[in-house]
């Protein structure tokens, strides 16, 4: 292997940089996974400057076999002879056809976007809630030099700093460099930090308090580790496609569930002074083709979403996040309506910053920025990680290029000032100027090595200055404040009991005392997912499915401080004097050679799973998105064998599924031996304790499905299928189903699911009664008129002297590090700049805007709903009361509008003792009661007829109905 070569992976991989073997070693768990190998598969982009996103020694989806074969032939051609030239040409032609004309169309630019232009960027600082922070920011920015401003808006480059993203400081005014770190379920690459349950598990709790508490603990750990910006929570993907690789990072396949969970997570994170980042804005619903070059194509896929669907579905949770005061939004990799999301002026300027009134800063996903000046004009405020179009090259689209753009007049000084002010104001808004909480010294851990000593900038071969980079500070809390307590509660309440034929809960003491049995109860635990495997951190970024599944893979994964396995917890939980427990942590137990291990069981518990993750990694033939919705690793076959043979056919089988999303159960769920099924989702470090609590009745199950479990992938509709093959040089994905995903599609088409959205069983029962709807405000078609915000900061927008941006004399530069400096003033050439089409059009502020989250009237309560809930069972339990709206009773113009049968609008989880009754109350806002009118460009409330209000325990079990 040529150790001088870099193996720069995607954003979530690692940059390898060696210099005669004297480099600081990378994080041990990542050392081998990201090593360049001369014999690894290289795809057909190799004739270009090496594409780091495809230089991986990993299996590919079968669709990409031609490109891999091409690479192998190319190496053979170089090593042996030219006799394969004809074959090579044929394969190039074949690959070209497969890739939609890829070889000859690599230079094809995206077609004109379907998003209209929206310029200029609305300035931040128009909201009263941010007024003080913007005043402080203005006072600081006024004193900054041009290089300092550029430093704040441009990342320093991949692996240039201890965090996954780092910005340069403004030293003369005392503003520190910022550290940005993944991710949505914990601190990526950090030691001594909690591995919380994944977002999909949080969504399955339907517990608002736990959503907030998990966020708060997450924020505290980030602060104590020296992080400024957390790259989470995630509400995009929404879950349009149930096999989507990163659905598990979000909270479920509904915009309201996602929005409420995201907003409460943000509240918790930001109460700890950490800038939360809501992501990925917007339409990043699959991993295949999400990123330029990652799949061998020069351009990412375009998610083509109509205006109403964007507002009511994919944009809805982001609106909730902005209303909650989120300080950062991450724009996504893919195109939206044939314009890159991080350069889409309608999306960032028109919708996010004007209509939604976003006051913080927009950062790019790592390498999602695809242009320089154009992206700044379109509303991007921070480039991450600072590198340009290629990983680890240090050739930034901003940095010195941004300095030049300002000096030559291409980028208005006012736009740069707004970019900087938004970042600095966010820092003040979260109180990061408080030295008692933020020492300004940056992270106390390194993302790149486990060693105590290392270099700050391992991405540069020039940095040889060894320092303490890992201080190994434990931030997990202790005693009653231990974050493991929150993690366990979330994992437990996130377990959904979907089938129970009286077998659960089991007793830790085995047989009931009233029953006479000659021998103790025998419990057999089966399945690889029950055990430790090779350990939870054996694969980088959790990029393999082995042992029990605690999270998906990718940038959203973390290093587990520990992982309690189901077998370990159950062996400890059962009374060893009364119950004989054996465990077989494999999906292929020796049933034929040793049938007694199955026949001599009274209860069999089978653990199976389904995994997925981010598209830059592959495992077991899965490149991000799942290939189907079935249980993986022969898990279904294991279930069938155990269910038929447990106790020689007389035993009871319980199936526990750890999964990134819904799985098809039709092949086994109705087998007589299968008595109970639980969806345990992705439980994090407390996995075993959580499932043991539920199985043994220590905790009554209260989770509800955050998605629909269908009987086949086809049940979810045509739009639910991953686009595994490119349909053009720029793959096009039309969201033609509009509002109809998941349960909405099932309802529309009259399809009976196996288990509906919001469904979940309990060990007790509940009764619903006395639904009362109380109007608070009269119906009116449109929100109140938009009111102007406060005046934003004003600056002297004079172009500074070019000498201000010159590299200081005697300054020692590190190779590949992104600096703001220019080499000479002679390179600055002023002249007319070809501003984008529509740049001079004066935009009319949309009436749907007016403050954070949009028009304030959208958040006013127009009706309240109350309902009585009674626990009619014998044990204490928690019930999730769900409120849905229907618009089938509206009249007038709204009668012509297409509405889903039912849409979730709110939920509350309440705990009741046996025979206890409580009143559960809801507020319905104007936005809840409205639809997005594409002509009026506003939220419109139907005023004629009635809006139906339905309350129940799932999307299909709506017990009470009222009207507004």
**Catalytic machinery residues:** 365
On whether the CB atoms of residues 313 and 741 are closer than 8 A, the answer is yes
Q: Which two tokens stand for residue 297?
A: 């194509």
Give just the sign of the alpha carbon dihedral 441, 443, 444, 448: negative
CA–CA dist 654, 648 (Å, integer): 15
Strand, helix or coil at 379? coil
Strand order in the sheet with 302-304: 339-340, 335-336, 302-304, 732-734
Place of tokens 């033939």: 621
Residues whose CB falls within 8 Å of the CB of residue 335, separated by 6 or more in sequence, listed in order = 110, 113, 299, 300, 301, 302, 303, 341, 344, 730
Place of tokens 């922070």: 133
- Dihedrals phi, psi of 203, to nearest 5 degrees: -60, -35
Please give the DSSP secondary-structure letter assigned to residue 784.
P
Q: Which two tokens stand for residue 256?
A: 């309201």
CA–CA dist 862, 927 (Å, integer): 10
CA dihedral 856→859→861→864, nearest 10 degrees, is 180
- C-alpha distance across the termini of the chain, in Å: 71
Residues whose CB falls within 8 Å of the CB of residue 225, separated by 6 or more in sequence, listed in order = 181, 187, 190, 193, 443, 444, 445, 473, 475
CA distances from 871 to 30, 188, 256, 500, 914 (A): 51, 42, 26, 19, 5
Q: Which two tokens stand for residue 470?
A: 């890992």
Place of tokens 């989770």: 703
CA distances from 154 to 53, 369, 380, 819 (A): 22, 11, 11, 9
Strand, helix or coil at 339? strand
CA–CA dist 625, 891 (Å, integer): 42
Strands 948-952 and 958-963: antiparallel
CA–CA dist 541, 561 (Å, integer): 14
| Closest by Cα among 154, 158, 229, 155 to 13 | 158
CA–CA dist 782, 768 (Å, integer): 34
CA–CA dist 753, 756 (Å, integer): 6
CA–CA dist 329, 382 (Å, integer): 10
């Amino acid at each position: 292997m040529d150790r001088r070569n870099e193996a720069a992976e995607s954003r979530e991989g690692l940059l390898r940089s060696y210099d005669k073997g004297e480099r600081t070693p990378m994080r041990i768990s990542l050392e081998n996974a990201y090593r360049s190998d001369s014999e690894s598969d290289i795809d057909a982009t190799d004739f270009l400057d090496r594409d780091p996103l495809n230089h991986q020694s990993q299996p590919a989806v079968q669709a990409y076999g031609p490109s891999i074969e091409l690479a192998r032939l190319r190496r053979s051609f170089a090593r042996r002879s030219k006799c394969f030239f004809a074959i090579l040409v044929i394969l190039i032609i074949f690959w070209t056809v497969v890739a939609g004309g890829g070889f000859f169309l690599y230079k094809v630019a995206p077609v004109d976007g379907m998003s209209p232009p929206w310029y200029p960027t609305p300035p931040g600082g128009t909201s009263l809630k941010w007024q003080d922070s913007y005043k402080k920011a203005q006072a600081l920015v006024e004193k900054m030099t041009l290089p300092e401003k550029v430093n704040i808006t441009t990342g320093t480059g991949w692996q240039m700093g201890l965090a996954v993203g780092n910005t340069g400081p403004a030293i003369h005014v005392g503003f520190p460099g910022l550290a940005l770190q993944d991710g949505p379920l914990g601190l990526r690459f950090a030691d001594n930090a909690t591995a919380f349950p994944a977002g999909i598990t949080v969504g399955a709790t339907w517990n608002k308090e736990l959503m907030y508490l998990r966020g708060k603990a997450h924020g505290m750990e980030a602060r104590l580790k020296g992080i400024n910006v957390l790259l989470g929570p995630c509400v995009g993907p929404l879950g349009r496609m149930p096999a989507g690789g990163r659905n598990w990072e979000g909270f479920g396949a509904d915009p309201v569930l996602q929005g409420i969970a995201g907003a409460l997570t943000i509240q918790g994170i930001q109460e700890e002074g950490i800038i939360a980042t809501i992501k990925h804005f917007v339409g990043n619903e699959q991993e295949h083709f999400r990123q330029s070059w990652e799949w061998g194509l020069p351009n990412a896929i375009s998610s083509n979403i109509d205006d109403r669907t964007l507002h009511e579905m994919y944009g809805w949770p982001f609106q909730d996040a902005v209303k909650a005061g989120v300080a950062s939004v991450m724009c996504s990799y893919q195109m939206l309506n044939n314009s890159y999301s991080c350069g889409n002026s309608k999306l960032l300027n028109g919708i996010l910053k004007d209509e939604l009134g976003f006051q913080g800063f927009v950062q790019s996903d790592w390498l999602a920025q695809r242009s320089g000046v154009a992206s700044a004009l379109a509303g991007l405020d921070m480039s991450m990680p600072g590198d340009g179009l290629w990983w680890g090259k240090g050739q930034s689209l901003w940095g010195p290029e941004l300095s030049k753009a300002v000096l030559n007049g291409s980028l208005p000084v006012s736009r740069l000032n707004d970019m900087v002010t938004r970042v600095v104001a966010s820092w003040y808004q979260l109180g990061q100027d408080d030295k008692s909480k933020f020492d300004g010294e940056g992270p106390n851990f390194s993302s790149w090595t486990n060693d105590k000593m290392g270099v700050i900038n391992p991405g540069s071969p020039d940095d040889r200055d060894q320092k303490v980079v890992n201080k190994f500070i434990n931030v997990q809390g202790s005693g009653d404040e231990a974050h493991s307590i929150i993690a366990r509660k979330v994992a437990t309440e996130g377990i959904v009991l979907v089938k129970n034929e009286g077998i659960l809960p089991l007793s830790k003491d085995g047989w009931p005392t009233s029953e006479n049995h000659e021998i103790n109860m025998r419990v057999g635990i089966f399945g690889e997912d029950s055990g430790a495997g090779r350990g939870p951190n054996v694969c980088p970024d959790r990029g393999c499915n082995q042992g029990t599944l605690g999270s998906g893979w990718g940038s959203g994964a973390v290093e587990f401080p520990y992982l309690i396995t189901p077998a370990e917890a159950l062996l400890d939980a059962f009374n060893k004097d009364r119950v004989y427990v054996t465990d077989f942590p494999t999906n292929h137990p020796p049933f034929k050679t040793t049938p007694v291990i199955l026949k001599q069981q009274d209860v069999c518990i089978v653990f199976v799973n389904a995994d997925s993750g981010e598209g830059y990694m592959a495992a077991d033939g899965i490149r991000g998105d799942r290939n189907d919705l079935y249980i993986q690793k022969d898990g279904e076959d294991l279930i069938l064998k155990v269910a038929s043979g447990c106790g020689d056919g007389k035993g009871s089988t319980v199936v526990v599924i750890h999964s990134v999303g819904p799985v098809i159960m039709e092949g086994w769920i109705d087998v007589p031996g299968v008595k109970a099924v639980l969806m345990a989702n992705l439980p994090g470090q407390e996995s075993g304790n959580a499932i043991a609590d539920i199985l043994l009745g220590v905790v009554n199950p209260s989770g509800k499905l955050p998605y629909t479990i269908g009987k086949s992938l086809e049940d979810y509709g045509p739009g639910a299928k991953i686009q595994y093959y490119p349909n053009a040089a720029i793959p096009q994905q039309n969201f033609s189903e509009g509002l109809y995903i998941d349960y909405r599609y099932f309802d529309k088409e009259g399809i009976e699911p196996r288990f509906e959205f919001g469904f979940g069983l309990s060990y007790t029962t509940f009764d619903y009664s006395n639904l009362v709807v109380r109007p608070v405000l009269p119906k009116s078609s449109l929100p109140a008129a938009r009111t102007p915000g406060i005046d934003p900061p004003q600056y002297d927008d004079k172009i500074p002297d070019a000498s201000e941006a010159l590299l200081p004399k005697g300054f020692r530069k590190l190779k590949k590090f992104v600096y703001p400096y220019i080499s000479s003033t002679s390179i600055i050439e002023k002249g007319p700049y070809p501003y984008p089409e529509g740049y001079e059009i004066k935009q009319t502020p949309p009436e749907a805007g007016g403050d954070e989250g949009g028009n304030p009237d959208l958040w006013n309560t127009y009706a309240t709903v109350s309902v009585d809930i009674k626990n009619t069972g014998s044990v204490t339990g928690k019930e999730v009361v769900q409120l849905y709206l229907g618009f089938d009773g509206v009249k007038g113009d709204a009668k012509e509008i297409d509405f889903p049968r039912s849409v979730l609008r709110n939920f509350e989880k309440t705990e009741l003792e046996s025979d206890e009754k409580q009143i559960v109350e809801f507020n319905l806002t104007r936005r809840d009661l409205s639809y997005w009118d594409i002509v009026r460009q506003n939220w419109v409330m139907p005023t004629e007829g009635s809006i139906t209000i339905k309350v129940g325990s799932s999307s299909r079990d709506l017990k009470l109905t009222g009207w507004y």
